Amino acid sequence: MAVDEGVAPAAKTDETGTVHRLKPNAVGLLGVVFMAVATAAPITAMTGNVPFMVSAGNGIGAPASYLVAMVVLAIFSVGFTSMAKHITSTGAFYGFISYGLGRTVGLASGLLATFAYVVFEPALIGIFSTFATETLKDQTGADIPWWAFALLMLAVNAMGTWFGVSVAEKLLVVLLATEVTILAAMAISVAFHGGGPDGFSIDPVNPVNAFKGTSAGLGLFFAFWSWVGFESTAMYGEESRNPKKIIPKATMISVLGVGVFYVFVSWMAITGTGQSKAVEVSTANPLQLFFGPTEQYVGHWAVNVMQWLMITGSLACGMAFHNCAARYMYALGREGVLPSLKNTVGRTHARHGSPHIAGLVQTIVTALLLLAFAAAGKDPYTGTYVLLAILGTMAILVVQAVCSFAVLVYFRRNHPESRHWFRTLTAPLVGGVAMLAVVALLVSNMGAAAGTESGSLVLKATPWLVALVAGTGIGYAQYLKRRDPARYQLLGRTVLEETKER
C-alpha cells in the first residue's frame, strides 16, 4: 500500500471497508524507545519509589528487586515481541489478545488497557502539580495553587497528541535526556569516589535480598510498578518505520535499558547514603536518599536541578500516558465498537494523522477525574496520584498476564511453523504466571502502598472496578456476537495492511 507521509491514509481491515489510520513513518526506533521509557518516568520511579521500597519494603535489597523485575519482564517481552513481528496494531494488547484468545477476551482486555491509561494521566498530573508547587515554593517563594499546574499539563498533553507523535517525541527526547543525565551524574560520581561511608558492597544487588526486609512483596511490587507502560511500544507500530523490526527491538531496549539504569542508580543512591543509614534516611526524609548523595558528590546545584527535573519527568510520563490512552480509544473507536465512535474518536486529523478527537476526549475525562478527586478533598499526591496509579497498575498487570497466554494460543493456532520451545511456549508461560504473581502482590500490599489512603473507598473498590470493566467488555462482546455479528467480527482485527500477519 503506497503511503503519503503528508496525510493519514486509510488502512484496510481484514474484513471489508477502510478505516482512518495514523500517520505512517512518523517515528523511528529511538522515538518509540523514548515514548516507552517516558511512561516509566525514570526520575519519578527512582525518587518516588526507591525510598519507599527501602523504608517499608525490602530495605537495601531494593536494587535487587529491580534486577528480579527486569528478568521477569524480559522473559514476558520475548513472547510479546514474537507476536509483534506478526501483528501491527495501534490497539496493542487489544489486537494481540483478540487474535490469540478470541474477540470476547480481546475486547475485555482492550477496555481494561484503555481504562488503565485513562486513569494514569490524572495520576501523573497529581504528582506533577505537587512537585511543581513545592519546588517553586522552596526555590522562589512563590505559592501557586496546584490546580494551575494541572491546567498547564492538561494543555501541554492535549497539544502534543493533536499535532502528532513526532511532536511529542521531540519534547520527550529533551525531557528524558535531562532527567537521565542528572541521575546518572549522581550514580557515576558515587562510583568514581569509591562508594559512600560504608564503601562498596554487592549486597544491594544480591537477588536473595530482594526477598528480605520489612515487606519483600511490597518492594517487589514497586519494582514492577516502575516499568508500567514499557509495553506501549506496540501501539506506535502503525506510526513507525519498519514496525516488524522496530517494535521488538524497542521493547527489549526499553526493558533491559531501563532495568540496568534502575539497578545502577538505586544501588549508588543507597551506597552514597551508606548502607547502614539508608533505611533510616529513607524513613525520615525519603527524597534525601537521592538529594544527599547528589549534593555530596555532585554539588548543591545538582539538587536544585533534580527538583526541576522531577517536575519535567512527571510531565513527560503524563504526556506519554495521554498518547497511550488516546491511541487505545482510537483503536476501539475506528472499529465501531459503538457505532457513534467510528466518526468521532475513530477519526484521525487530516493533516497531522493524529488521534486528535480521542486526545480531546481523554483531556476532558482527565479534567473530570481531577475535579472529582479535588471535590472529595483528596491531596493531588497522596490521594489522586497514589489511588489512581494503583488502580491503573492493577488493570494493566492483568492485561499483561492475559497477553502472555494469548501468545501461547496464537502460535499454536495460527503459526505452528514459527513455534519455538522458548520464545512462544516457555517465555510467555513463565511471563504470564509471573504477572499473575505480581497482581497477587499488589492485592496483598494495596493498603501499605496507599499509605494514608489505605482506608479510601476508591482503594477498596479497586479490584471490583477492574472486574467491572473486564465484565463489561465480555458482556458487550457477547451481545454483539448475537445481535450484530458483522461488528463482532471486526473486534481487534484492524491491523496495518503491509505488516498484516502471514
Residue 16 in this model has a pLDDT that exceeds 60 = no
Residue 490 in this model has a pLDDT that exceeds 50 = yes
Tell me which of 359 and 167 has the higher pLDDT: 359
Crossing angle, helix 300-334 and helix 93-101, to 10 degrees? 50
8 A C-beta contact, residue 62 and residue 212: no
Residue 1 in this model has a pLDDT that exceeds 70 = no
pLDDT in tens, 224-235: 988 887 877 877
Q: What is the CA radius of gyration of the chain?
A: 22
Output DSSP code: residue 241. S
Residue 15 in this model has a pLDDT that exceeds 50 = no
Residue 499 in this model has a pLDDT that exceeds 50 = no
Residue 153: predicted pLDDT: 93
Residue 377 in this model has a pLDDT that exceeds 80 = yes
Residue 22 in this model has a pLDDT that exceeds 80 = no
Confidence of residue 78 (pLDDT cuts 50, 70, 90): very high
Q: Percent of the chain at pLDDT above 90? A: 49
Residue 7: predicted pLDDT: 35
Residue 157: predicted pLDDT: 87
Beta strands (DSSP E) in 1-79 are 10-12, 18-20
8 A C-beta contact, residue 439 and residue 398: yes
SS3 assignment, position 11? strand
Residue 14: predicted pLDDT: 38
Residues ≥6 apart with Cβ < 8 Å to 112: 395, 396, 398, 399, 466, 469, 470, 473
Q: What one-character-per-residue DSSP string does 361-394 give?
A: HHHHHHHHHHHHHHHTT--IIIIIIHHHHHHHHH
Residue 39: predicted pLDDT: 76
Residue 360 in this model has a pLDDT that exceeds 60 = yes
What's the rounded mean pLDDT across residues 385-413?
A: 92
Closest of 55, 148, 122, 147 to residue 387, by C-alpha: 122
Residue 336 in this model has a pLDDT that exceeds 80 = no
pLDDT in tens, 103-127: 999 999 999 999 999 999 999 999 9
Residues ≥6 apart with Cβ < 8 Å to 468: none
Residue 495: predicted pLDDT: 61
Confidence of residue 11 (pLDDT cuts 50, 70, 90): very low
Confidence of residue 433 (pLDDT cuts 50, 70, 90): very high
- Average predicted confidence (pLDDT) for the chain: 85
Domain boundaries, the chain: 29-493
Residue 468 in this model has a pLDDT that exceeds 80 = yes
Confidence of residue 4 (pLDDT cuts 50, 70, 90): very low
Residue 82 in this model has a pLDDT that exceeds 70 = yes
Give first-to-last CA distance, the chain, whole Å.
16
Angle at 105 between CA 463 and CA 344, to 5 degrees: 90
pLDDT in tens, 127-147: 999 999 999 998 888 899 999
Residue 13 in this model has a pLDDT that exceeds 70 = no
Topology classification of domain 29-493: Amino acid/polyamine transporter I (1.20.1740)
Output DSSP code: residue 27. B
CA pair distance 474, 116, nearest whole angstrom: 17
Residue 216 in this model has a pLDDT that exceeds 90 = no
What's the rounded mean pLDDT across residues 202-207?
A: 94
Confidence of residue 6 (pLDDT cuts 50, 70, 90): very low
